[in-house]
Amino acid sequence: MLRPRIMPCLLLKDGSLVKTVKFDNPSYVGDAVNAIKIFNGKEVDELVLIDISKKDIPFDVIRNITRECFMPLCYGGSVRTIDDMRKLFQLGIEKIIVNTLLFEDRQTVEEAIKLFGSQSIVASVDIKKNFWGKDRIYRHSSKKTVDLTPIEYIKSLEELGVGEILLYSVDRDGTWEGMDTSIIKEVCKRSHLPVISCGGAGEIKDIQDSIISGSSGVALGSMCVYSKKNMGVLIRFPKQNEIDKIIRNYENM
């Protein structure tokens, strides 16, 4: 039996760890390399690292992380070329998250899948409700939604051949209000790709809800870097026995 994966999702900006709310207002939460070493010590299932600087890939920071962290690392942010990807894999990154490339240069993504295998390429799918409250795909570059439903978009990604979906709810990001289980359910039902859901988790029960909705993995942002909502920075992770308990609950369903 494959265990659902629970993982920190950490944001990097100019070499520091930050946390956003609804993809905006990044606040400083600490030194990235130190934080990641702490998560490595906690033997987390996997770790998602996204650089939101919109500059060059921070290879030095990544090198410092991969030298001492022996867990699956998934990196996204400013990845543009096959050469970028090759460098990241050589440093010990396991999977690469693509987002902007999916809009601007699918040919490179296709080539990457051919070269490195579909399991190495994760498509980040950011979802935001539009003016009429409908779920639509969100683009960072324009900070706007585009007129594509999540299912239409994900079907095109299946065709492209990506290995996994990072399903990110922009509206829930940093809110602690719980995950958007209705969209998670819909996507997991309609797609054969494994889904890591992200955005909104504030307590253990939210993780369980996401797993029950079909997520293969759940990524935690605020819950891993703050002690509580509106409280101070604290690098933390749910205890293994808490995770075991929700996974047991799920397996016994």
**Active-site residue list:** 126
**Site for other proteins contains 2 (CB under 8 A):** yes
**Site for other proteins contains 178 (CB under 8 A):** no
What is the β-pairing status of strands 135-139 and 144-146? antiparallel
Q: Of these, 217, 223, 235, 246, which contacts other proteins (CB under 8 A)? A: 217
Binding mask 49-68 for other proteins (x = CB under 8 A): -----------------xxx
Residue 33 has phi, psi (to 5 degrees) of -65, -45
**Site for other proteins contains 90 (CB under 8 A):** yes
**Site for other proteins contains 233 (CB under 8 A):** no
Contacts with other proteins in 99-128 (CB under 8 A)? 114-120
**Site for other proteins contains 238 (CB under 8 A):** no
Size of the site for other proteins (CB under 8 A): 36
Tokens 């920071």 locate to 61
- Of 216, 218, 220, 168, give the one whose Cα is nearest residue 192: 216
User: How far apart are CB 170 and other proteins at their closest, in Å?
Assistant: 25
3-state secondary structure of 250: helix
**Site for other proteins contains 250 (CB under 8 A):** no
- Of 69, 66, 62, 65, give the one whose Cα is nearest residue 41: 69
**Site for other proteins contains 192 (CB under 8 A):** yes
- Of 95, 34, 31, give the one whose Cα is nearest residue 69: 34
| Alpha-carbon distances of 118 from 71, 106, 160, 210, rounded to whole Å | 19, 14, 9, 24
**Site for other proteins contains 28 (CB under 8 A):** no
**Site for other proteins contains 72 (CB under 8 A):** yes
Closer CB to other proteins, 2 or 231, in the complex: 2
Conformation bin of residue 178: beta by default, left when phi > 0, alpha when psi is -120 to 50? left
Q: List contacts with other proteins (CB under 8 A).
A: 1-5, 40, 43, 45-46, 66-68, 70-73, 89-92, 94-95, 114-120, 163-164, 192-194, 216-217
